[in-house]
Structure 1
Amino acid sequence: MSDPTLVFDDLRAESDELDRLVAGLGPGEWGRPTPAPGWSIAHQIAHLAWTDRSALRAVTDSAGFRELLDKALAAPGSFVDEGAEEGARLAPDMLLARWREGRAALDRALRAAPPGSRFPWYGPPMSAASMATGRLMETWAHGQDVADALGVVRTPTDRLKHVVRIGVRARNFAFGVRGLPVPEEEFRVEVRGPSGELWTYGPEDAGQRVTGPALDFCLLVTQRAHRADLAVRAEGSDADRWLDIAQAFAGPPGAGRAPQGAAG
């Protein structure tokens, strides 16, 4: 990305939108359960605050980030939950202040990063733009959990293009992390953004194709909804398998969400 300012601005806007959703909650509402098992609204915001601080460390103190990475490698199955649990124990006003301060500091650090810089992360090293894209994806996805917990339907925006992009780019990772052979053929992905624009990726004549609304694609790759409840369609056996395993986030495969009609 030649000019990362757009994704920095969109990350700020996405965070501000979620901030407005939780800022007026009463103390008791922060404990409301979300669709993520064992996670309350407080856990969701605490996780974002924890990850923002990790990203800030990666951008400003690579040696210090290495200490965080070593802790993660020592407890790969629990370090994320432990970070969320620690923050969720804070009083809501303190947690909200911590999240605001951390994301503002990260915003400043990303904007100040020299062009071409790359920073360590829990996966491959990341540019400032890629770091911001990852933070936007997570903010949107965890914001969806908060919205679902509150019964709020959010209005989708074209900021989803960043989530779509990272979901498409993570295709090979989704296969590899499950020990599945990575398809050699590129896929064609065509999704319609909230403003009506068609966003396309991959060769136009590809035999493996994925189509649908951008919102539904984003819910799929962040595992916030089951594909049976979404209008995302695949042509080709490899593309069809991808829709069962797609994930835009790093780490082990997620369990995903059950179809809405599965209960009972």
Structure 2
Amino acid sequence: MADFRAECDCLAEILEPLSDDDFDRATLFKEWTIHDVVAHLHIFNYAADASIHDQSAFDDFKQFMAARRGRLTLLELTDEWLEGKRNRAVYDVWREYYPEMCERLEGVDPRMRVEWFGPPMSARSSITARQMETWAHAQEVFDLLGLDREEMDRIRNIVFLGLNTFGWTYAVRGMEVPDTVPALHLTAPSGDVWTWNADETANRITGKAVDFAQVVTQVRNVADTSLDVEGPIATEWMSMAQCFAGAPETPPAPGSRHKA
């Protein structure tokens, strides 16, 4: 829970000095503006919070989404739910809400099963997903503003989520899931080395944990990282890795996401 809050705080630090007009600046992520990013993060923070603490409110939110899906885009739907609030007004709502949400999470059993838009998951998985999405969407804001993010070892949660969704990457595309999961030998921001599936030698991914996280969250093409990818399964996985729910998404083209 603390890692999710720290990720939000990291984003808030670079958003706080921005003017209202700055929130209309477009990022390299599908031309979403900074407003779009913050609005998207807020409504799904609300949904995750409600799924843990207020089932009725979560059901109402799902119904709101379902009634408008197909008629409105995700961004239009988000703006309607926010009742027309924009830019710094939405930032203020997000900035006030997530600390209160984190306080409510204190004492929640991390194994508690909660509803979502797909299969139920644990409360721990739900909040890890919120950390992941905050970190991933923050990247396009850091890129737009020409800033480097000081990465921390809490990114391990996102790396582990990426590993755990190896099978999902294939299944969501209707592909057969390989029996072999590639080995990971990743260097953390602190310099520690994190290793998984070390006995696998034919398919290996070696490099920075941040680079791996950028690939599985689809904020960078693997070609734009320094990852060393060996073996056919590892290569195929990194070409389409997707650690988030929803329909299959195509990773960004090489060179299309970068710091300004």
> Is TM more than 0.5 here?
yes
Task: Provide Cα deviations, 1:126-179, integer angstroms capped at 9, x if missing partner.
Answer: 222212211111110111011111111112211211110111111111111111
Indicate yes or no: 2:164 matched with 1:169: yes
| Residue 49 in structure 1 maps to residue 42 in structure 2 | yes
What pairs with 1:92-131 in structure 2 (closer than 5 Å)?
92-114=87-109, 116-131=111-126
Q: Describe the SS at the equivalent of 2:148.
A: coil
Contact kept in structure 1, 2:205 and 2:230, CA below 8 Å: yes
Query: How many residues are matched?
Result: 255
Root-mean-square deviation (Å) = 2.3
Cα offset, 1:105, TM superposition: 3.0
Which residue is 2:207 aligned to? 212
1:178 to 173, 182, 205: 173
Equivalent residue, structure 2, for 1:251: 246
Counterpart CA distance in 1 for 2:7 and 2:173 is 30
Is the alpha carbon distance of 1:116 and 1:225 closer, same or farther for their aligned partners in structure 2, counting shifts above 3 Å?
closer
Q: Which residue of 1 aligns with 2:75?
A: 81
Q: Give the aligned partner of residue 61 of structure 1.
A: 54
Question: Gaps (5+ residues) in structure 2?
Answer: none
Q: Secondary structure, in 3 states, of the residue corresponding to 1:196?
A: coil
Q: Which moved more, 1:70-79 or 1:107-116?
A: 70-79
Alignment partners' CA distance in 1, 2:180 and 2:71? 32
Tell me which residue corresponds to 1:4.
none
Secondary structure of the structure 2 residue equivalent to 1:199: strand
Residue 130 (structure 2) pairs with residue 135 (structure 1): yes
Q: Unaligned 5+ residue runs, structure 1?
A: 1-7
**Fraction of identical pairs, as percent:** 33
User: Aligned pair in 2 of structure 1 residues 213, 68: CA closer, same or farther (>3 Å)?
Assistant: same
Q: Counterparts of 1:77 and 1:55 in 2: how far apart (Å)?
A: 24
Q: Aligned match of 1:149 in 129, 144, 147?
A: 144
Choose 233-242 or 66-75, whichever is displaced more: 66-75
